[in-house]
Amino acid sequence: MKAFSIYSHVIFCFLIACNTTVAERDDNPDLEFTPSEEFTEYWWTGKAEINSYKLEQARYGEIHQGNAVLIFVTEDFSKKKHVKLDNPQQAGNDAVNVLKLNFTKKFTTGIYPYSMMMSSFKPVEVSNFPNTFKVTATSQEWCGHTFTQLDLEKERYEGYLFSYFESEGSESQVSLQKELLEDEIWNTIRLDYNLLPTGNIEIIPGLLSQRLLHHDFAVLKANASLLDAEDDQKIYLVEYEKPQRTLKIFFQSEFPYQIEGWEDSQMIRGKLMTTKAKLNKSLKLDYWNKNQPNDKKYRQELDLE
């Protein structure tokens, strides 16, 4: 794995200036984002930002202890194939820089463990590519495992759910109109929280939430608010109408807008349950090069051991 290269930075800037087409622009003329020098110096350094969180996960009507990790890194992505480019220098205008999020959760329910992961690929060129290209999610536990993928195809998100549940089928096709993804909110905060929509919105719930609740895939109505909090923090609040659910994401109001934690509240087995996560440790690291036994020290620094 390799972070966004200096060569790609040059290509990226050239594309913004010289290769924007009307077809690539959204119908929202107010959606603008230009990477600042501060942004460049933080995100284009060949390192990822790794954040570990203490997790209290609501499941089966109880709260279970665990950990969550949010990993943010920029990389070169193919806008045609929706995969990370091996040779971005040869990709021409197919190369688009994205801010990738890998979001993991690990917790144990009784005797058996859960391991869940979501990946979201949000273009940095928001003015030209306002919608996230792709989001995937996996869930593994002792009953079995599932895989979900949504890809942006013109005006819709198309994808598949592969599941061991009979009610879902071994392979189910997913097709949703193009709307805000809950799973791209995290990336958007890190780019510029002022890009977040507020008021009455239509939104596609997060894939990990969908997996835990076994809800059908759907575009739902919600109300979104951007609120001030203590200690120079902001809160992005999403209140779903039906089924009722509330998501609060806490983050720093100053760049780089680090995510301090979140709360996810919903009715589970007839009672209101809230999943909570609070930031524990954070590192900037080229983790893909840290694969030797001695590198376990970084897991200890992140309090993951």
Q: What is the pLDDT along the chain (305 residues), one digit of tens a residue?
A: 444 443 344 334 433 333 333 233 344 445 688 899 999 999 999 999 999 999 999 999 999 999 999 999 999 999 999 999 999 999 999 999 999 999 999 999 999 999 999 999 999 999 999 999 999 999 999 999 999 999 999 999 999 999 988 888 788 899 999 999 999 999 999 999 999 999 999 999 999 999 998 888 999 999 999 999 988 999 999 999 999 999 999 999 999 999 999 999 998 778 899 999 999 999 999 999 999 999 999 999 999 98
User: Looking at residue 9, what is its pLDDT?
Assistant: 44
Element (H, E) at 13: helix 6-18
CB atoms near residue 201 (< 10 Å): 15
Tell me, what's the pLDDT at 167?
83
133-143 b/e (C-beta count within 10 Å ≥ 16 → b): bbbbbbbebee
Question: Residue 166 has what pLDDT?
Answer: 86
- The predicted model scores a pTM of 0.89
Boundaries of every domain in the chain: 6-23+30-301
Rg (CA), the chain: 19
User: Are the C-beta atoms of residues 201 and 240 closer than 8 Å to each other?
Assistant: no
CA 7 centroid distance within chain: 26
The C-alpha angle 173, 177, 180, rounded to 5 degrees, equals 115
What integer pLDDT is reported at residue 43 of this predicted model? Answer: 97
If DSSP codes are grouped into helix, strand and coil, which group holds residue 39? helix
CA distances from 125 to 24, 97, 131, 172, 256 (A): 10, 7, 10, 32, 17
